[in-house]
Structure formats: C-alpha cells, structure tokens
Amino acid sequence: MKTTGFVLAILFPLFASAQITTSQITGQYFASNVGIPFLLLTPDARAGALGETGVATSADEYSNHWNASKLAFAEKKMGLGISYTPWLRALVADVNLAYISFFTKNQTNGAIGGSLRYFSMGNITTTPVPGGVAGQYRPNEFALDVSYARKLSENFSAGMVARYSRSNLSGATTAQAGNSFGADISATYLREEIIIGSKTLALSSGLNISNIGSKIFYSSSGTRYASPLNARLGGRATMNFGGYHELAVSCDANNVVANHWPGGFGDQLRSTTIGAGMEYIYNDLFTVRAGSFFEGKEYGVRRYATLGAGVHYHVFSLDFAYLVPYTGLRNPLENTLRFSLQFRFDQFKYQPVQ
C-alpha cells in the first residue's frame, strides 16, 4: 500500500489552507477528520489584496465564492473570471489553485453563476515498502458550483449555491476518491447614493454561510470527514469624492466550525479570523489595495499584511496580490504573486423591484 503518499496527500492541503493549526494537529484535534479544506482558500487576487475580505465588497466575477447574493447587484450583464495562485512556491513548483467563474443577469432582478476550482498538489512519490519500487501520482481536488441570486427589494438580495466536490488524494489501491455535496446561503444589503455634502457614500453588508453539506470519506468502511462549515459576516463603506476618486474600506469576520469526532456531536474545531482592507479607485481605471489578516492565538498563527493593484480597460481587468507575513511567522503564500483576470460585458442598471 502506498502509505507514505496517502498520508502526505491527506495532510498537505490541511497545512496549506492553515485553517487547522500545527498545535491542533499535534494536540487534541485530529486534522485528518476535517475534509476538503481547499474550499476555504481565497481564489482571487482582489480579495487576497484586501486582507481576505469579500463578503460585502462590490459584486464581481468571484462573488460565487464570497457571497453569491451580491451578483444581483452587479452592474454588468455578464462576467467571466480566471485566477491562478501558486502554492508553497518556496518549496515546490507544481502546486497551485486554479479558479474559473461566470455569471449573467436578467431583467427580472435575478442572476445565475457558476464556478470551477481545481487544487493540484503536484507529483507525489510513494514507496510501498522499504526497498520497494517508488511510484508517482498527482493528488488533486476540485469543486463545481452553480448559484442563483435575486433582488428581493431595491436594497436587499439573497442567494444560494449548490456544490459538488471531489477529492482524489491517494494513489493507493485501497482508497478511493471522496465525493461530497454541499450548499451556501447568503444575503446582501446595499444602500447607495447617501449624500454627504459634495460626496456620495455607499454602505453594504453581507452574510454567507457556506459548505453546508455531507461528509466525505475515502473508503466504504473508513472515517467520514466533516465539511468545513463556514460563516462569514462583513461590511463595506465606499466614499466617492466626486470626479475620479473613490475610496472603499471593508471588514470581514469569519468562523469555521467542524466536528472533529467522526460523525459525533462532541467538541468542535473552531477557527475565527478577522480581515480588513482598503482600496483606492481612480476613474475605474486603476486600483491600489492594502489589507491585514489576523487569527487569534487560541486558533492559529495566521497573521499577515496584504498588498495589491488592479488595472481596468473597457471589458478587461487584471488584478495582482502579494502577501507579507508578520515578523516571525511563515505562510504558504509568502513571496508569491497571485493574479486574476476578469472580462465584463454590457454595463447596465436595473430598475428596482416595485
């Protein structure tokens, strides 16, 4: 049995996502009892540059991950997004997260979307027994989402995502790929054009409860691994100074909950984080971003600053993000440049619900 490769494949995405900390793995919690944590990874450079915030930011092609209900407020009729994130680039060159998403709106205040994320863990070499012949395989995980969002009033929308996930982590003949079905529910409140002197203020808030779904298992008689149930709440304030200048500040509070006992109702694993970001937008042509991400000591050690920029030209946008760990800490994305592409079509405004 290719035991070494299977263990590495199981543990690697958990360390990479950093949702399960080293102290929890070696202490009372069992990291292997939390499944498909790649669903929690930030897929796009814009949110990555804003301290991992996205539940209440303006709608874009990556809203399917952060808060699908935002799509009902999108100013474009249609959008396509493609992003690529190298992972653990300081150690290996073939581990990455790829993400592609799409949405379209209709004239009845609704929007539909979809996305595909693919997490490749590169080549893993296995040795069946000491002195045996080594083999290689490429563990990977992917998730396919379909979403629907609808404006229920001029300022409020709701959304839902249906998700299929597949986790193929082992080249062992005694293990199988795991499959899971899940859902997200979300809501957004948006109030625009609040006049303050010569300036205009827009306020938004969002809530997304994601990965509500079945457990995943890799053998018919093996342990079932809980999906990383996640609740995210956040807000955003955007000030338009007139003319070409706009400044937005966003903040997200995030809580991941998962049972660490197989199928039990005992203790739960929790990871609470706070992210904040700011972006300056010049004439919808150029954007500069910065943010910060913080996780309490009782949960882990993820603390870092984020930086980024974006350029926009007609239907095309390109965003970059860079992560800087705080002193004494390490991160799988340090010294790594992330980027995202967006293609947006048919800008238009909808009439509010009567």
Q: What is the pLDDT of residue 327?
A: 73
Q: What is the pLDDT of residue 232?
A: 96
pLDDT, one tens digit per residue, over 247-291 is 999 999 998 876 544 444 444 556 789 999 999 999 889 999 999
* pLDDT at residue 12 greater than cutoff 70: no
Tokens 């400044």, residue located: 247
* pLDDT at residue 343 greater than cutoff 60: yes
* pLDDT at residue 342 greater than cutoff 80: yes
Query: How far is 57 from 141, CA to CA, in rounded Å?
Result: 27
- The tokens of 27 are what? 């202490």
Q: What is the pLDDT of residue 333?
A: 85
Helix (H, G, I), strand (E, B) or coil at 49: helix
Question: Is the distance from CB of 161 to CB of 143 less than 8 angstroms?
Answer: no
* pLDDT at residue 31 greater than cutoff 50: no
Q: Higher pLDDT residue, 70 or 108?
A: 70
Arithmetic mean of pLDDT over the chain: 82
SS3 labels along 297-315: CCCCCCEEEEEEEEEEECC
Where does the pLDDT of residue 347 fall: very low under 50, low under 70, confident under 90, or very high at 90 and above? low
Q: What is the pLDDT of residue 190?
A: 96
* pLDDT at residue 46 greater than cutoff 80: yes
Mean predicted confidence (pLDDT) in 197-208? 92
- The tokens of 66 are what? 């952060």
- 314-320: Cβ within 8 A, 24+ apart: 315/343, 315/344, 315/345, 316/341, 316/342, 316/343, 317/341, 317/342, 317/343, 317/344, 318/342, 319/44, 319/45, 319/46, 319/49, 319/287, 320/45, 320/49
* pLDDT at residue 25 greater than cutoff 50: no
pLDDT, one tens digit per residue, over 276-330 is 999 999 988 999 999 999 987 655 678 999 999 999 988 889 999 999 998 777 7
Tokens 């390490």, residue located: 330
Question: Is the distance from CB of 136 to CB of 125 less than 8 angstroms?
Answer: yes
Of 100-104, 150-154, 175-179, 199-203, least confident by mean pLDDT is 175-179
Q: What is the pLDDT of residue 297?
A: 65
> % helix / strand / coil in the chain, to the nearest 5?
10, 55, 35
Q: Could you state, in order of their start, the residue ranges of all structural domains in the chain?
A: 3-347
Question: Is the distance from CB of 286 to CB of 309 less than 8 angstroms?
Answer: yes
Q: What is the CATH number of domain 3-347?
A: 2.40.160.40
* pLDDT at residue 120 greater than cutoff 60: yes
- The tokens of 189 are what? 């409140």
Query: How far is 152 from 163, CA to CA, in rounded Å?
Result: 23
User: Above pLDDT 90, what percent of the chain?
Assistant: 51
* pLDDT at residue 3 greater than cutoff 80: no
Q: What is the pTM of this model?
A: 0.83
Where does the pLDDT of residue 223 fall: very low under 50, low under 70, confident under 90, or very high at 90 and above? confident
Please, what is the end-to-end C-alpha distance for the chain in angstroms? 64
Mean predicted confidence (pLDDT) in 233-239? 97
Tokens 């899940």, residue located: 182
Which of 174-178, 201-205, 240-244 holds the top average pLDDT? 201-205
Question: Is the distance from CB of 248 to CB of 54 less than 8 angstroms?
Answer: no
Nearest Cα to Cα of residue 67 among 192, 188, 163, 212: 188
Mean predicted confidence (pLDDT) in 90-101? 87
Mean predicted confidence (pLDDT) in 71-100? 89
Where does the pLDDT of residue 189 fall: very low under 50, low under 70, confident under 90, or very high at 90 and above? very high
* pLDDT at residue 11 greater than cutoff 60: no
